[in-house]
Structure 1
Amino acid sequence: MRSKSFSSVVKKYKAVLLDSYGVIKNHHGVIMGAANTIEKLRADGKLIRILTNDASKTAAKQVEQFRRLGLKDVVEEEIITSGMMAKHYLQSKKTKGLIAYLGTPAAAQDILDAGMSTIHISEVNGDNIDSIGAMVYLDDEGFDWNKDINRSLNLLRHRSIPAVVANSDQIYPVSRNEVSIATGGIAKLVEATLGREFIHFGKPDSQMFMHAFVQLNAEKKIEKSDILMVGDTLHTDILGGNKFGISTALVLSGNTRTANVKVNIKATGIIPDFICDSIAT
């Protein structure tokens, strides 16, 4: 499959779903040319949603970060995070008791904003363990890796409660050639150790795509054939878009690189409709 310019690919679509890290921004800041592309998409009347598996910040905090990076027109309604999906699940289940979480207090803000009470996993002990109603994996920061992952494991050994993973990403890039273990990777370790199935939110699962689809149709009539999902990761962005039945474009500005794109597609069997160097092309 040959690389095409993003500008030629996106022409026929009415709505564009963009991954955040690796598509719009990276560890340096906004990816070169991404801001201009987003500006042109708006000028052309295309609806935009940013779908991110980053559960470490609320949509409002994501907007603040984008604006600090120079993307002044991004609004809260355009951002859909995996943390939001986890919050909706906990609300719908009317979860009783404290929500124990692994991550930073900022990552737990969505849950707090929904009126639920939280407790950091480091504070769970024999005196309060029976009051825990769910365990949520939110972020790969804000806890002691030597102690708190084990605390979450032992909580789930002793309590038959839902275990929710708000970010299914197993790794994320920290530089051009290096990655770090993400929340999904931590949760996967605990899942495998316990032999349990956790409840996962974020791409590639369908909840975020359905949420975006409903939102878009609240603005104007949109069919699935009108939507393009743009991402840098086969297992999340592209697989999720494919499963939801929308067109997908893999960009080579993040997790997937030109040198290994063909091998990765062949090895995974996850095939995007298009490949582009970046959204700036």
Structure 2
Amino acid sequence: MDGVIYRGNELIPGSDTFLKKLKSLEIPYMFLTNNSQRTRRDVALKLTRMGIEAKPEEIFTCAMATARYLALKKPNGTAYVIGENGLTAALHQNGYTVVDDEPDFVVVGEGRTINFEMIEKAVRLVAKGASLIATNLDAVCPTEQGIRPGCGAIVAMIESATGKKAFSVGKPSPVMMRMARKELGLSTDETIMVGDTMYTDVLGAVQMGYRSVLVLSGHTEEKSISNYAYAPDLVASCLNEIPETFYLTHG
């Protein structure tokens, strides 16, 4: 959403107009985020305060995708968590217990309260046999002050220390992309992914067979598209510049 709907705490001009248009045309949509810090209710409130009508059920976070995936893989399991409330809440809602010792999984999200002691503990638990799960592999998180280390950077430390690779559930993972589509009740050819990042949003769409739109309102410049072996179906300066003909016809 950051770079597509808003930048920091400022709405990108036209975002609200575009979403109202989708509602008036009865086109379903969902907000996807690779940020596991907030619950879907928290995210909906942030959008509402910016002037975007948003309900919790219209939000889909990588924390939710991770928790649902783990609940399917091992129901009523246990997890040692590096992350914040959005991640622990999603795990609890899916029948998981957060523990400090002998967990089935070490689950890593992002956050500002992480310390080295937590990482040390995670390394020891993974070395003893716990499976390493990442909510996403984004190396950095954008903030109004600049970038800070993201989930991927934290996971890389644990991977390097243990020699074990994490399984990531967030964008561009097919796990999250498929779950979001099913939540909307859409078929593959009805689904369009809109994002501002080539290596998560567009890549995820390409892998799933969805159409994709790259908006240039975030941190990707049009000239950098040629650096990738795949491309979006459409490039637009912002949400409100996506032509109706693109989303009113199936791919």
TM-score, normalized by length of structure 2?
0.87
Where do residues 242-257 of structure 1 align in structure 2 (5 Å cutoff)? 242-257=206-221
| Among 120, 130, 147, the residue aligned to 1:150 | 120
Residue 164 of structure 2 corresponds to residue 184 of structure 1: no
Where do residues 12-51 of structure 1 align in structure 2 (5 Å cutoff)? 20-51=1-32
Q: CA deviation at 1:241?
A: 0.4
Q: Which residue number corresponds to residue 197 of structure 2?
A: 233
Whether the 8 Å contact between 1:108 and 1:138 is mirrored in structure 2 is no
Structure 1's consecutive aligned runs of 4 or more residues displaced over 4 angstroms after TM superposition are none
Identity %: 25
Whether the 8 Å contact between 1:51 and 1:208 is mirrored in structure 2 is no
Structure 2 portions without partners, runs of 5+: 242-251
Q: CA deviation at 1:115?
A: 3.1
> Matched residue of 1:151: which SS?
helix
* Aligned mates of 1:223, 1:92 — CA distance in 2: 22
Whether the 8 Å contact between 1:96 and 1:133 is mirrored in structure 2 is no
| Among 238, 242, 249, the residue aligned to 1:278 | 238
Number of residue pairs the alignment of both structures matches: 241
The residue identity in structure 2 corresponding to 1:91 is A
The residue identity in structure 2 corresponding to 1:165 is A
Q: CA deviation at 1:97?
A: 6.0
Where do residues 125-136 of structure 1 align in structure 2 (5 Å cutoff)? 129=101, 131-136=102-107
Structure 1 portions without partners, runs of 5+: 1-19
Whether the 8 Å contact between 1:53 and 1:203 is mirrored in structure 2 is yes
* Aligned mates of 1:243, 1:46 — CA distance in 2: 23
Residue 173 of structure 2 corresponds to residue 213 of structure 1: no
Where do residues 63-142 of structure 1 align in structure 2 (5 Å cutoff)? 63-72=44-53, 74-94=54-74, 98-119=78-99, 124=100, 129=101, 131-142=102-113
* Aligned mates of 1:165, 1:132 — CA distance in 2: 15
Higher relative contact order, structure no. (Cα contacts within 8 Å, ≥ 6 residues apart): 1
* Aligned mates of 1:200, 1:225 — CA distance in 2: 25
* Aligned mates of 2:236, 2:160 — CA distance in 1: 36
* Aligned mates of 2:133, 2:76 — CA distance in 1: 14
The alignment yields a C-alpha RMSD, in angstroms, of 2.0
TM-score, normalized by length of structure 1?
0.78
